[in-house]
Homo-oligomer: A and B are copies of this chain.
């Protein structure tokens, strides 16, 4: 079994995590390694559900914060093992950015903060990069909601080590065109469902993204085909074509409103929902969010909107104010060239440590 050394520095620990391959649905090895490392820490109470680990301090503080990250990655794309370029200070490899840099910060804090000013619940979970039915945080919120009770939550998704508030929702639908089969040598006797999908693609090409401003943050929606498939045989006019469309919507729209928009957009077609998750409003008016932003936000207090859907939305649904804050450029997530500046990993560790050690810092 791979072993994690929590006594090493946070960058080396990131590399150890990256070098344990953990593509979604294949997280046994990394979860075992994390569980084993956490079990050696006497100041934490560890619970495992599937390949999701929860480690909690039980200090009787008047406040509790959750710090969470997912252990899985998108598929390998010729970008393992990790590679540290000391001339640029960049750590390259699958998961360096999304999001094992953040996971390493979580593990490092878990190992070393024996007396934080807030009780802390560290969560390292499975299956964030796939269908939400499998999402470890979702499963945990249903099986053990008490384990996630908190006054504030920090999700360490990549955000360039800047606080990102809110997140966009996501909706996936299948848009289906139908036709009538015929031999392709007598194509005029059939109706080509793939040709009919041309209109679906034309509508997508004419889409203009909404960019609403919410709590001072400018969001940016998107409506895209992510899959298309159709065809029966090389000599048959196809009678069905399915376009899978992903709508990313700003958090001022509910899931129901997002679906209504998409149904209207594809008016006249058969639209089937396959996956949906709500956005999260920035919530920057809440005291807990304000306090954290003041502590780590720097002199200018920079806060950005989160375009990508993250599990921040799950905390919002549970009534826990939550923000994204982690090392790495989110636009590098899911790219072959994924990397993270080691300085950001170190800065996140330093700022979170200072906040959790500062006497009187209210959650």
Residue ranges of A at the interface with B (Cβ–Cβ < 8 Å)? 74-75, 129, 131, 168, 170, 172, 181-189, 192, 194-195, 197-198, 201-202, 204-205, 209, 220, 222, 224-238, 241, 243-244, 246, 248, 275, 307-309, 330-331, 333-335
Contact = CB atoms under 8 A, between A and B. Distances in A.
A95 to B, nearest CB: 15
A222 B172 contact: no
B224 A195 contact: yes
Contact of A226 (B238, B243, B333, B334): B238
Contacts of A309: 185
B227 A308 contact: no
B334 A275 contact: no
Given A186-B222, A188-B222, 9 more contacts: A170-B185, A182-B334, A184-B222, A184-B246, A189-B331, A192-B224, A226-B235, A227-B230, A235-B334
Contacts of A182: 331, 334-335
B227 A234 contact: yes
Q: Which 10 A-B pairs have the closest CB atoms?
A: A198-B201, A227-B231, A185-B308, A187-B222, A194-B225, A184-B246, A185-B307, A228-B230, A187-B224, A183-B334
Nearest to A200: B198
Given A185-B309, A198-B201, A331-B183, A244 B231 contact: yes
A187 B248 contact: yes
